[in-house]
Amino acid sequence: MARLVAEDIAVRFGTFEALRGVDLTAESGSFVTLLGPSGCGKTTLLNVIAGFLQPSRGRLAVDGKDITALPPEARDSAMCFQSYALFPHLSVADNIAFGPRQKRVARDETVRRVDGLVRQLGLVDHAGKLPNALSGGQQQRVALARALAVAPGLVLFDEPLSNLDAKLRDQVRNEIRALQRDVGFTAIYVTHDQAEALALSDMVCLMNKGVIEQKGAPRDIYFRPRTRFVADFIGAANLHRGKLCGGAMSTPLGVLHCCHEDGEDVEICWRPEAARLGGDLSGTVKAVAFQGAHVDVFVSAGPETVRLQVPGELNVSIGDTLQFSVPPEGVIALEASANA
């Protein structure tokens, strides 16, 4: 397992700055996701960590050793691609054995690793097949086994599940996490899927326009977003901007209370599940979406529409007036983004 430290990483493509001042520490054996919208720099950062791209500034170290100038093959890392990138003319077993053979791992050890991975990833019946005889989920497992066969300290994943359907994605996602714990490697995982990042990670790095806007444990990021971008990107957020006076802000829905310093131009947010039925806030129900355990209710007052999550048994209809409240501890004050 490897401890990765990236310091002040910058990447320029001509005059365009794809990454600026990126600092990141992935503790040994941790699962770190790089999350963010398309074009924010996730893949660029992963390519820098893999050694496919030289940063224009900054430093990378693994276990205290500077690896910034090392080529990819000299690094203790392996990449698992979205496109699988399997060799079509090699069997599943030979695809998995490819890395160890390249690295001149002893024959017995290579066989041992291939057998172990084939078993762990449920590929025993497919070891002799060519990749094009496999389903997408099976190909993804081979790609994973191939990355793990070189026993890297650091495994880099570039949206590995995006070609799989939702059910299979959940299944392979759980397998990746279980393998990471069993085999023991540090994972850096690129995704634009916030649910995936929250479910998998020890640490989420939420990226925006070439910088890490906030990083932390999934719960921290979800319950304590620092900026509007973070609040909006992770989960659903109801946002209000205005004057906070005596801890109270007037909105078209009524007065919201929060435990933060007063100010003239403050932005606050609350999560849909923070709302409680009954109270001083009210609006007209505009849409209702039954989700089983809960109901998403969209409530409007004046120009504002908010989203509430209420218990599944609640019977509400469009046009009803809904009274609700949001406890002050459920209201978060946001900072202006340095990266707006």
Ligand X SMILES: Nc1ncnc2c1ncn2[C@@H]1O[C@H](COP(=O)(O)OP(=O)(O)OP(=O)(O)O)[C@@H](O)[C@H]1O
Binding site for ligand X (CB under 6 A): 13, 16, 18, 36, 38-44, 192
Between vectors from CA 32 to CA 56 and to CA 185, what angle results, nearest 5°?
A: 100
Supply the minimum distance, in Å, between the C-beta of residue 41 and ligand X. Answer: 4
- Residues 114 and 120: their CA atoms lie apart, in Å, by 10
The residue type found at 78 is A
Nearest alpha carbon to residue 180 among 240, 120, 239: 120
Supply the minimum distance, in Å, between the C-beta of residue 40 and ligand X. Answer: 4
Q: Which CB sits closer to ligand X, 11 or 281?
A: 11
Please return the burial class of 227, using the count of CB atoms within 10 Å of its CB with bins 0-12, 13-18 and 19+.
buried
HEC assignment per residue over 292-329? CCEEEEEEEECCEEEEEEEECCCCCCCCCEEEEECCHH
- Residues 331 and 249: their CA atoms lie apart, in Å, by 11
Q: Which CB sits closer to ligand X, 43 or 251?
A: 43
Supply the minimum distance, in Å, between the C-beta of residue 53 and ligand X. Answer: 8
Q: Which CB sits closer to ligand X, 282 or 339?
A: 339
- Residues 334 and 234: their CA atoms lie apart, in Å, by 14
Q: Which CB sits closer to ligand X, 97 or 198?
A: 198
Supply the minimum distance, in Å, between the C-beta of residue 331 and ligand X. Answer: 31
Supply the minimum distance, in Å, between the C-beta of residue 13 and ligand X. Answer: 3
The residue type found at 17 is E
Per DSSP, the three-state class of 266 is strand
Q: Which CB sits closer to ligand X, 38 or 315?
A: 38
